[in-house]
Amino acid sequence: MNQPSFANRFPDLTESAKGHLPLCAPLKPRGGDPYFGLSRSYWYNLERMGYIVLKRLRLHGNRKVRVLLSMEDAQKAIQQLSQERKG
């Protein structure tokens, strides 16, 4: 993956910044997520590697699933990956 490191793209989320983030954000089929700008496949890879858990919602009778990214999980993944990069 040729994504810039989290440490270079995002500062640590402060308490005031956390107040502006929603609990979860939808991962849209096209484009990146609206808060971090990372692609859907990047978040899927982080889930596969065990950094985050994506939430999947599907109403009874529907075929399509809505995939949601927990902002708390995203913050933890950013901090973990930036620490791994430093150490």
Type and span of the H or E element at 82: helix 71-86
Residue 70 tokens, joined:
């927990």
Position 4 scores a pLDDT of 52
Contact 21, 76 (CB under 8 A): no
Within-domain flag for 57: yes
Looking at the DSSP bridge assignments, the partners of residue 39 are 32
pTM of the model: 0.71
Position 18 scores a pLDDT of 55
CA distances from 58 to 28, 34, 66 (A): 15, 22, 6
Domain count, the chain: 1
pLDDT band at 86 (very low <50, low <70, confident <90, very high): confident
Within-domain flag for 79: yes
Q: Is the pLDDT of residue 1 over 70?
A: no
Residue-range definition of the domain harbouring residue 65? 21-86
